[in-house]
A = this chain, B = another copy of it.
Amino acid sequence: MLSKKCKYAIHALVHMGKRPTEQFVVKDISEACNIPRKFLESILLELKRAGMLGSKQGKGGGYFLRRTPPEINLADVVRLFDGAIAAVPCASFKFYESCDECEDEDVCAVRDAFLQLRNATVEMLKADTLESLLKKEAILRTKKKR
């Protein structure tokens, strides 16, 4: 399961992706996405530190996307907030740690299975960009109307 923080981050980003050149104040996003305001503040700050968002302080300020919608993908967001995508530390690339349960990692079928799952997952999450998500939402909307 993703943390709420990560899920909130994704929804906030998707919301901003709808008008990718505009600036948003925390309150707007908080209300649009039903995310506790103070909690959202820290999330946006983290996204800013990671280079996905920019901000402008003071009156008339707010947050805005630093990258275009095709450049922001869920794999990056998930890694930022929840760390490893792999289900098991020994199957992670960016957050690798050896396990104690098998004698020889190179020959551990459990690890192999979770490596494959990790690879498939990363591919899918990388393909989920703000752009592709918003396109999909449009498709779902028209499908529902018919």
Binds B, one of A19-27, A49-57, A58-66, A106-114: A106-114
Within 8 A of B (CB), among A66-125: 74, 83-84, 86-89, 99-102, 106-110, 112-113, 116-117, 120-121, 124-125
Our pick among B86, B100, B120 for the contact of A124 (Cβ within 8 Å) is B120
Contact A108 to B120, CB < 8 A, known contacts A2-B87, A113-B74 = no
Complex formed: what's the CA distance from A14 to B113 in Å? 12
Contact B117 A124 (CB under 8 A): yes
**Chain B nearest CB: distance from A113 CB in Å?**
5
The chain A residues found within 8 Å of chain B, CB to CB, are 1-2, 7-8, 10-11, 14, 33-35, 74, 83-84, 86-89, 99-102, 106-110, 112-113, 116-117, 120-121, 124-125, 128, 133-134, 136-137, 140-141, 144
Complex formed: what's the CA distance from A134 to B125 in Å? 29
Q: For residue A137, which residues in chain B have a CB less than 8 angstroms away from its CB?
A: 107-109, 112
CB-nearest residue of chain B to A35: B101
Q: For residue A74, which residues in chain B have a CB less than 8 angstroms away from its CB?
A: 113
Complex formed: what's the CA distance from A73 to B80 in Å? 31
Known A109-B134, A113-B136, A120-B120; 9 more pairs at CB < 8 Å:
A1-B86, A7-B88, A7-B101, A35-B101, A74-B113, A108-B137, A109-B140, A112-B137, A121-B121
